[in-house]
Homo-oligomer: A and B are copies of this chain.
């Protein structure tokens, strides 16, 4: 049984365009891909026909035949974090001019979801994978290793990657923040962050922070691990809670800027002397929050730059056909703002 040539609801194929323009399917294909020699007259005819019919090529068939897919899988934990949209911005900025297209998957910080999303995405045979973090399930790790395409793990450089890595050392970021706080003379320090066993970057920051304090002979006075969304309100609540428990605390280190901002607002309203008697710091360098009553101390996580560098690695590999193994460690910069007292 061949197709019914008159069924108007049947999706268009190359054959329809070829018949409408009186040339072979191959020639139509060449025109639409701008590849190979086609005379100007033929090209015009074909383009006219394609446009008139409203033909949209079928990339599924194309990809199968050419064994080439212009997609890059991007796997991140969350979109509501303010952090990842910036990374994506950097990625698409670079990919835009390469013919590659990012496809985003969101894991919600679940290793299991990450595994299944990677499986799903790899089954489309993308040209590369950009995935947040170095920690994966064994199955996910082995899938990535055997995929035969460039893999870039981003955001974190504390650990061994599968192929390429672009990130910052969160451990070092934590340690440097600790150093700055200690240098400013704060002594009774608390940490406030999300209760997420699978947010390894926050964990490493905290570890580095604790190490940094230890080097100065200090230890955390208290820490709060909250669950639920990271909004201003949450920042207020946990700040209030921790300061009521330990009124003598003189520094609060938050795991992200949003809750830090909430904490800052609460402290100011309640008459705390910031940064004189109480210092505050967050993490990420979220510039949407510039414009708070006082500029919150934070550390830029190089989000945009990470996206750019990761995408460049993928784009480079996809051009050269080689696989990278590049490691890029970026350096986050402390932005002291107005919530750490100066010497």
Q: Can you name 5 A-B pairs with beta carbons within 8 Å? A: A9-B148, A11-B125, A54-B146, A79-B88, A265-B293
A103 within 8 A of B: yes
Cα distance, A61 to B147, chains bound together (Å): 17
Which of B9, B231, B287, B292 sits near A289, CB closer than 8 Å? B231
State how many residues of chain A have any CB contact under 8 Å with chain B: 54
**B59–A291 contact, CB under 8 A?**
no
**A148–B86 contact, CB under 8 A?**
no
**A80–B85 contact, CB under 8 A?**
yes
**B233–A290 contact, CB under 8 A?**
yes
**B229–A287 contact, CB under 8 A?**
yes
Cα distance, A262 to B290, chains bound together (Å): 9
Interface residues of A in 263-306 (CB under 8 A from B): 265, 269, 287-293
Which of B57, B88, B146 sits near A123, CB closer than 8 Å? B57
**A61–B58 contact, CB under 8 A?**
no
A19 within 8 A of B: no
In the assembled complex, the CB of A241 is this many whole angstroms from the nearest CB of chain B, namely: 14
- Determine the residue in chain B with the shortest Cβ distance to A119: B56
- Determine the residue in chain B with the shortest Cβ distance to A61: B64
**B80–A124 contact, CB under 8 A?**
no
Cα distance, A92 to B258, chains bound together (Å): 25
Interface centre among A60, A69, A147, A229 (most CB of B within 10 A): A60
Q: Which residues of B contact A85 (CB under 8 A)?
A: 79-80, 85
